[in-house]
Amino acid sequence: MTGQDLLPADHLQLFIGGAWRPAEGGEELQVHDPADGSVLATVSDASAGDAMDALEAAVAAQAAWAATPPRDRGEILRTAFELVRERTDELARLMSLEMGKTVAEARGEVAYGNEFFRWFSEEAVRIHGRWMQAPAGGSRLLTIKKPVGPCFFVTPWNFPLAMGTRKIGPAVAAGCTMVVKPAQQTPLTMLALAAILAEAGLPDGVLNVVPSTRPGEISEALMADDRLRKVSFTGSTGVGRTLVRQSADQLQRVSMELGGNAPFLVFEDADLDAAVDGAMVAKMRNMGEACTAANRFLVHSSVAEKFGRRLAERMGALRVGRGQDDGVDVGPLIDEKAVEGVAQLVTDAVHDGARVLVGGSRPDGDGYFYEPTVLVDVPPESAINVEEIFGPVAPITTFETEDEAVRQANDTEYGLSSYVYTRDLARTIRVAEALDFGMVGINTGLVSNPAAPFGGVKQSGFGREGGFEGIEEYLETTYVALPGG
Ligand code: NAD
């Protein structure tokens, strides 16, 4: 298979100002199949100079785009939504190939990610300010919402489509232009999406895409420019901190969707079948390579043995293999470093006293695979409970009381998602309020929803994507003081 079998040859280049073109120095990067390490495609590799060209295009397009009627912006998103829906199968295959997830999961991501286009096509026409009388009477207060201006988006490899649409959807709806730098491991999906948005009628320069192996150089160049007004990043906390620091010079607005360390709490009164079902979703979505992935299973000691046994049965029955093959449930991890990281966390946990109920090693053969794994008796302080695992490993730790469960759950620098299984309504309310996380799932292993405000607290970042809140990240408020009549 060659890159052209996946995308038309010109779509394997940079997308700047509505045109496809090579990198200025002719550099190229390789996209690999994580199932066997082979080269899938070669894509233009943007330099800082190319990224600045993309910013020029975004800046040039900004004023006209901001003046476009909201209905027109919404209709473009809606058309893109229809096109993505029609092309679900080809997008899913492309994403499965470059990222590793199964085609079925990739279809799920296309459907989920595409909902941000639909949601924000509907939000585009609901941008409004307010009119009010000053409390003391007399003057009137008017607020006007305006697009923040040209944006810079950096997205990760784990959800190549959805992490893009979550930013592009609201930015388009709000009237912002943008430069997108997808993860170098998975640029193909974003390039395919750019072509779809162009086909849907997005004017030249509104969306520019610059895959690159030099993300630091690109972000430094773009963020030093005061015409760039907004940075939205999804990725690791370390890179997020760097970008927040870089944003200080030009005081760009920033949204940060960073790492997580989600606790999955199972109380003694929980419906255990439902908890195991939820655990499979919260842990195994995307092979565990999700910022929302359940990272620590905190289970009441009276049900821990049963929960662990049932979870191990389900995890042990999963078929590991190439994401495009029939019957496969779990694809490869993204690269060798990812497998080594997961393997090290498991080795350390066993050294700390954990027992392996199922899995615990990497299968023989090519590719970056790791077996679905369940560990029990994991000490709370073991590295696997502290760091983001980003792989198919479920460590189980026990607790005795509700207070202890909440304390353990909150004992992390992260604060993205959390999950609670209980049938007690009063406990549901107490625990949901006490958990220091941006999102709490009650008796569900899936919190992501385009209509909900997705985001974290603490070292998981700030800002929200989706929901009514999502578009606010791309709007400025102008207050107009008026005399009374
Ligand atoms: P990463 O931070 O290494 O890379 C993310 C993106 O940042 C990539 O596009 C990369 O090229 C770019 N990047 C790297 N260095 C940069 C720099 N100096 N300047 C600008 N860009 C730079 O993360 P990753 O390994 O690709 O993704 C996994 C991480 O993303 C995990 O920590 C995960 O939790 C997090 N994540 C968070 C969310 C969320 O919504 N909170 C969603 C998905 C993934």
Quick count: other Cβ atoms within 10 Å of Cβ 309?
Answer: 14
Q: Are 32 and 130 in a shared domain? A: yes
Assign residue 338 a region (left: φ > 0; alpha: ψ between -120 and 50; beta: otherwise).
alpha
The two tokens of residue 225 are 């420019």
Q: Are 132 and 197 in a shared domain? A: yes
Pocket of ligand 1 (CB under 6 A): 154-159, 163, 181, 183-184, 215-216, 219, 234-236, 239, 242-243, 257-260, 291, 388, 416, 456
Q: In this structure, are residues 434 and 403 in contact, taking their beta carbons and an 8 Å threshold?
A: no
Q: CA-to-CA distance for 4 and 321, rounded, in angstroms?
A: 25
CATH number for the domain that contains residue 301: 3.40.309.10
In this prediction, residue 4 has a pLDDT band, given cuts at 50, 70 and 90, of confident
Mutate to test the pocket of ligand 1, among 258, 412, 416 (most ligand atoms within 8 A of CB): 258
Q: Are 19 and 73 in a shared domain? A: yes
- Catalytic member of 115, 291, 402, 473: 291
Q: Are 401 and 468 in a shared domain? A: no
Condensed to tens digits (0 to 9), the pLDDT of residues 175-227 reads 999 999 999 999 999 999 999 999 999 999 999 999 999 999 999 999 999 99
Q: CA-to-CA distance for 119 and 7, rounded, in angstroms?
A: 27
Quick count: other Cβ atoms within 10 Å of Cβ 453?
Answer: 16
Residue 454 lies in a domain: no
Q: CA-to-CA distance for 305 and 299, rounded, in angstroms?
A: 9
Condensed to tens digits (0 to 9), the pLDDT of residues 427-448 reads 999 999 999 999 999 999 999 9
Residue 291 annotated as catalytic:
yes
Q: Are 211 and 250 in a shared domain? A: yes
Note the pLDDT of residue 2. Answer: 73
Q: How many helices (H) and strands (E) does the chain have?
A: 15, 20
Quick count: other Cβ atoms within 10 Å of Cβ 201?
Answer: 13
In this prediction, residue 100 has a pLDDT band, given cuts at 50, 70 and 90, of very high
Residue 455 lies in a domain: no
The two tokens of residue 141 are 């207060």
Note the pLDDT of residue 485. Answer: 72
Q: Are 249 and 269 in a shared domain? A: no
- Catalytic member of 257, 289, 371, 388: 257
Q: Are 237 and 283 in a shared domain? A: no
3-state secondary structure 133-148: ECCCCCCEEEEEEEEC
Q: CA-to-CA distance for 220 and 243, rounded, in angstroms?
A: 9
Q: CA-to-CA distance for 133 and 79, rounded, in angstroms?
A: 40
Q: In this structure, are residues 269 and 424 in contact, taking their beta carbons and an 8 Å threshold?
A: yes
Q: In this structure, are residues 109 and 175 in contact, taking their beta carbons and an 8 Å threshold?
A: no
Residue 485 lies in a domain: no
Mean pLDDT of 254-260: 98
pLDDT at 11 over 90: yes
Number of domains comprising the chain? 2
Would you state the torsion angle of the CA atoms of residues 178, 179, 184, 189, taken in this order, to the nearest 10 degrees? 40
Q: Are 186 and 110 in a shared domain? A: yes
DSSP character at residue 126? G
123: domain range?
Answer: 3-258+460-480
Condensed to tens digits (0 to 9), the pLDDT of residues 382-421 reads 999 999 999 999 999 999 999 999 999 999 999 999 999 9
pTM of the model: 0.97
Mean pLDDT of 53-68: 99
Residue 80 lies in a domain: yes
**Mutual angle of helices 103-123 and 162-174, in 10-degree steps:** 10
Q: In this structure, are residues 262 and 296 in contact, taking their beta carbons and an 8 Å threshold?
A: yes
Please state, rounded to an integer, the average pLDDT across all residues of the chain: 97
Q: CA-to-CA distance for 259 and 460, rounded, in angstroms?
A: 5
Mean pLDDT of 166-182: 99
Q: CA-to-CA distance for 294 and 297, rounded, in angstroms?
A: 7
Residue 391 lies in a domain: yes
Note the pLDDT of residue 3. Answer: 76
Q: Which of ligand 1's atoms lies nearest the C-alpha of 154?
A: 9
Condensed to tens digits (0 to 9), the pLDDT of residues 223-245 reads 999 999 999 999 999 999 999 99
Quick count: other Cβ atoms within 10 Å of Cβ 483?
Answer: 7
CATH number for the domain that contains residue 244: 3.40.605.10
Q: In this structure, are residues 385 and 295 in contact, taking their beta carbons and an 8 Å threshold?
A: yes
Q: In this structure, are residues 172 and 77 in contact, taking their beta carbons and an 8 Å threshold?
A: yes
Mutate to test the pocket of ligand 1, among 236, 242, 285, 339 (most ligand atoms within 8 A of CB): 236
Assign residue 360 a region (left: φ > 0; alpha: ψ between -120 and 50; beta: otherwise).
left
Residue 379 lies in a domain: yes
Residue 106 lies in a domain: yes
Residue 369 lies in a domain: yes
Q: Are 408 and 474 in a shared domain? A: no
Q: Are 283 and 221 in a shared domain? A: no
Q: Are 277 and 225 in a shared domain? A: no
Q: Are 240 and 226 in a shared domain? A: yes
For ligand 1, the distance from its centroid to the CA atom of residue 218, given in whole angstroms, is 14
